[in-house]
C-alpha cells in the first residue's frame, strides 16, 4: 500500500513537471518591457540631470517633460529636438525656459525611440509610443515638414 501511494505521488509530480515543460510559451510583450527598461536607462544617463527624476525640469532653465505639449504632441517635433538639439527660448505652461538642449544625434534610433516612449508614457504623460522607424525616418529627412 505504501509503495502504491509513493508510486502514485511520484507519477503525479513527474506528470505535472512534464506538462509544465511542454506548455507552450506565450509571447509576452517582452519588447515593450525591454523598451521601457532601455528607455528609463537612457533617460537616467542623458536626460535626468536637466529634466530631473520626476520630469519636472528646472524653473526658467530646463522645461518640464510632464504635461508638456512638446512631449505628448507631435512625434516629429520631439524626435527632431532630441536629434538636433533645441536652442530657443520656449514658453511651456506659462513659464519661459531658455537653456539650450544639446543634440543627442549620436544615440541609436532605437535608444531615441525608447527614451521618447518612456518620457511620453511617464511623468503623468499618456501619449503613444515612438517607433524606431519613426526616428529613422526623421533622421534620414524622409519626414521633414
3-state secondary structure of 96: strand
What confidence tier does 89 reach under pLDDT thresholds 50, 70, 90? confident
pLDDT of residue 6: 46
* Most distant CA pair in the chain, distance: 85
Which numeric CATH code is attached to 30-140? 1.10.760.10
Q: How far apart are CA 43 and CA 53, in angstroms?
A: 9
pTM confidence score: 0.74
pLDDT of residue 40: 96
Provide the residue ranges of all domains of the chain, joining segments of one domain with +: 30-140
- Tens digits of per-residue pLDDT, 20-63? 444 443 444 445 566 678 999 999 999 999 999 999 999 989 99
Q: How far apart are CA 126 and CA 83, in angstroms?
A: 22
Q: How far apart are CA 138 and CA 132, in angstroms?
A: 10
* CB-based burial label for 14 (10 Å; 0-12, 13-18, 19+): exposed
Neighbouring CB atoms inside 10 A of 16's CB total: 10
Amino acid at each position: 500500500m505504501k509503495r502504491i501511494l509513493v508510486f502514485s505521488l511520484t507519477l503525479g509530480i513527474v506528470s505535472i513537471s512534464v506538462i509544465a515543460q511542454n506548455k507552450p510559451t506565450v509571447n509576452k510583450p517582452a519588447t515593450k518591457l525591454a523598451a521601457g527598461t532601455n528607455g528609463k536607462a537612457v533617460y537616467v544617463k542623458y536626460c535626468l540631470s536637466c529634466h530631473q527624476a520626476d520630469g519636472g525640469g528646472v524653473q526658467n532653465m530646463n522645461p518640464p517633460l510632464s504635461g508638456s505639449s512638446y512631449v505628448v504632441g507631435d512625434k516629429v517635433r520631439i524626435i527632431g529636438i532630441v536629434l538636433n538639439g533645441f536652442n530657443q527660448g520656449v514658453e511651456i505652461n506659462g513659464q519661459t525656459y531658455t537653456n539650450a538642449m544639446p543634440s543627442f544625434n549620436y544615440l541609436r534610433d532605437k535608444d531615441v525611440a525608447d527614451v521618447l516612449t518612456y518620457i511620453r508614457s511617464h511623468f503623468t504623460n499618456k501619449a503613444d509610443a515612438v517607433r524606431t522607424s519613426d526616428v529613422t525616418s526623421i533622421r534620414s529627412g524622409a519626414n521633414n515638414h
